[in-house]
Amino acid sequence: DGGITQSPKYLFRKEGQNVTLSCEQNLNHDAMYWYRQDPGQGLRLIYYSQIVNDFQKGDIAEGYSVSREKKESFPLTVTSAQKNPTAFYLCASSISLAGGNEQFFGPGTRLTVL
Amino acid sequence: QKEVEQDPGPLSVPEGAIVSLNCTYSNSAFQYFMWYRQYSRKGPELLMYTYSSGNKEDGRFTAQVDKSSKYISLFIRDSQPSDSATYLCATGTTDSWGKFQFGAGTQVVVTP
C-alpha cells in the first residue's frame, strides 16, 4: 500500500531538548511538506522540499530544521529555540510543487512539551 | 485577515440530513480548491478537488466554487454518523508552488 507514515504517534519532550519527527513516503512523490496544526487555526507551513537536498522555509520555520537526504524521507527537528512547540505535526507529499497538485497527508505526530 | 475563512462550528445535524459547509477566500487569483476530511487525531484525507468555478459531484459529496463571490461549498447528502469529522477547505494558485492556504476547519457532528 502506498502512503505516508509518521512516527512516533505521540512524543513528549522536556523543555530545552531537541526532538526529531520522522516522515516517510512510498508514493514516489518529489515534493514533501511539514505543517503544524493548532486548535482553531488552519494548517501552517513549516518547511517544504521540492527535491532531494533542497528545501525552503515556510511561514513559521523559526525553531525548526529539516533535511532531505533521500526522496522518501523528510525528517523534522523541533529545536529548543521553538518557544511553543506543543502541537499536532503533519507531513504531506505531492507529485511535485507545481501548482494544483494534490497534497496527501500522513497520520500526524502529537508533540507535547512537559 | 486570513486568506481563507471558515466557520469553526460545531455544526450538528441529524442522520440523513444534508450537511452544508462553506469557506470564503480573499485572493481572486486562487484557482484550485480542495476539501479535506479530518477525523480526531488523524491526518487530513482529500475528499474533493476542483479547478476554477463550477460544481463537482462524487457520490454523496458535491463541491461548488463561485469565484465571483470568492465562496466555496461542500454538501454532504444523506449524512451518516461516520461523517462526523472536521472538514478543511484549501486553495492555491498555479504559481503557489505547493503553498496552499488552509481554512481552520468546521467540526461536523451527525447524530443518529
Write the pLDDT tens digit of every residue in B1-12. 678 999 988 999
Bridge partners (DSSP) of residue B86 are B38, B107
- Choose, out of A27, A105, A110, the residue to mutate when testing the contact with B (most B CBs < 10 Å): A105
pLDDT tens over chain A, length 114 residues: 669 999 999 999 888 899 999 999 999 999 999 999 998 888 999 999 999 999 999 999 999 999 999 999 999 999 988 889 999 999 999 988 776 788 999 999 999 998
What grid cell was written down for B63?
463541491
Higher pLDDT among residues A63 and B29, named by residue: A63
- Alpha carbons A113 and B11: distance in angstroms, whole number: 31
Q: Specify the pLDDT at position A1.
A: 61
The answer to whether B91 touches B5, Cβ cutoff 8 Å, is no
Please provide the DSSP assignment of B70-82 as one string: TEEEEEESS--GG
Chain A residues lying within 8 Å of B49, measured CB to CB: 102
Judged on CB neighbours under 10 Å (0-12, 13-18, 19+), B81 is exposed
Note whether A108 contacts B: Cβ–Cβ < 8 A.
yes
Record the cell numbers describing residue A84, joined without a space: 511553543
| Sign of the dihedral through C-alpha B39, B45, B47, B50 | positive
Name the 3-class secondary structure at B83: helix
Q: What is the tens place of the pLDDT at every residue in B53-112? A: 889 999 999 999 999 999 999 999 999 999 999 999 999 887 767 788 999 999 999 999
Residue from B30, B37, B42, B100 whose CB has the most chain A CBs within 10 Å, to mutate: B100
A61 at the B interface (CB within 8 A)?
no
Is residue B70 left, alpha or beta, with left meaning phi > 0 and alpha meaning psi from -120 to 50? left
